[in-house]
């Protein structure tokens, strides 16, 4: 298999954590594929017309996207046990994955807006992204005791990657202030070997 990836993408990181958890990282060839909102990488079009990462290409040439679909496929392929079988627990894991993915989506757009010259920024958008981020952090702080009791799964991976992206791209946002239980959970999340191996970085692989 082939994985179009970037060491900076939180969505790619989700996939890499699953690969390491499943013990099948040696079955995937990583292809560094730069992608930017304002610079579409046309080389990615044959595998993903959306020109987004991550994109997995199976051995028979079948493309698979997005991160949620890729992670589900790899989990089932390897029987890694990262999605609960029981209906209620699975619903909770899926909801948490949606929340983590949604926060990452908002943060990517938030960063894109903040990086514009001041005269091109839309203050209302920045305020809305900030509100969403803080609302999610508040919700997760309330849920942190349950996160700590939950076996490692795709929902936790998504939430952990989103919080780590805050550390990586929003160093000016001290999200741990006022969220001590969530901060403790994230510390334990980051100590997991599959997570520590996938720290985002700016250098080429």
* Per-residue pLDDT tens digits for 69-108: 999 999 999 989 999 999 999 999 999 999 999 999 999 9
Please state which of the ranges 96-100, 158-162, 198-202 shows the lowest mean pLDDT. Answer: 198-202
Task: From 42, 77, 112, give the residue that closes a domain.
Answer: 77
* pLDDT for 205: 39
User: What is the tally of structural domains in the chain?
Assistant: 2
Based on the fold, state whether residues 94 and 179 are members of the same structural domain: yes
Q: 38 falls in which pLDDT band (50, 70, 90)?
A: confident
pLDDT of the residue at 39: 84
In terms of domains, do 106 and 70 share one?
no
- Residue 15's contacts (CB-CB under 8 Å, 6 or more residues apart) are 3, 5, 54, 56, 67, 70, 71, 74
Same domain for 16 and 113?
A: no
pTM for the full predicted model: 0.95
- Please check whether residues 71 and 11 belong to one and the same domain: yes
Among residues 77, 101, 136, which one ends one of the domains?
77
Q: Please indicate, yes or no, if residue 205 is contained in any of the structural domains.
A: no
CATH for 135: 1.20.1050.10
pLDDT in tens, 2-32: 999 999 999 999 999 999 999 999 999 999 9
Burial 131-164 (b: 16+ CB within 10 A, else e): ebbeebbeebbebbeebeebebbbbbbbbbbbbb
Tell me: do 93 and 177 sit in the same domain. yes
The residue among 77, 110, 137 that closes a domain is 77
Domain that holds residue 98: 87-192
């Amino acid at each position: 298999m082939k994985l179009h990836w970037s060491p900076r993408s939180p969505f790619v990181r989700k996939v890499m954590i699953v690969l390491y958890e499943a013990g099948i990282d040696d079955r995937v060839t990583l292809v560094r594929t730069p992608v930017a909102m304002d610079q579409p990488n046309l080389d990615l079009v044959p595998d993903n017309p959306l020109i987004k990462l991550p994109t997995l290409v199976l051995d028979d040439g079948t493309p698979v996207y997005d991160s949620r679909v890729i992670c589900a496929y790899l989990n089932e392929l390897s029987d890694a046990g990262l999605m609960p079988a029981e209906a209620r627990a699975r619903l909770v894991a899926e909801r948490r994955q949606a929340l983590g993915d949604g926060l990452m989506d908002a943060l990517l757009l938030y960063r894109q807006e903040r990086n514009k010259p001041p005269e091109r920024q839309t203050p209302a958008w920045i305020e809305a992204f900030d509100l969403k981020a803080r609302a999610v952090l508040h919700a997760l702080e309330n849920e942190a005791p349950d996160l700590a009791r939950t076996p490692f799964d795709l929902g936790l991976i998504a939430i952990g990657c989103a919080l780590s992206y805050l550390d990586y791209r929003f160093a000016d946002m001290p999200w741990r202030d006022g969220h001590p239980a969530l901060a403790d959970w994230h510390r334990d999340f980051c100590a997991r070997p599959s997570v520590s191996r996938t720290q985002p970085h700016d250098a080429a692989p």
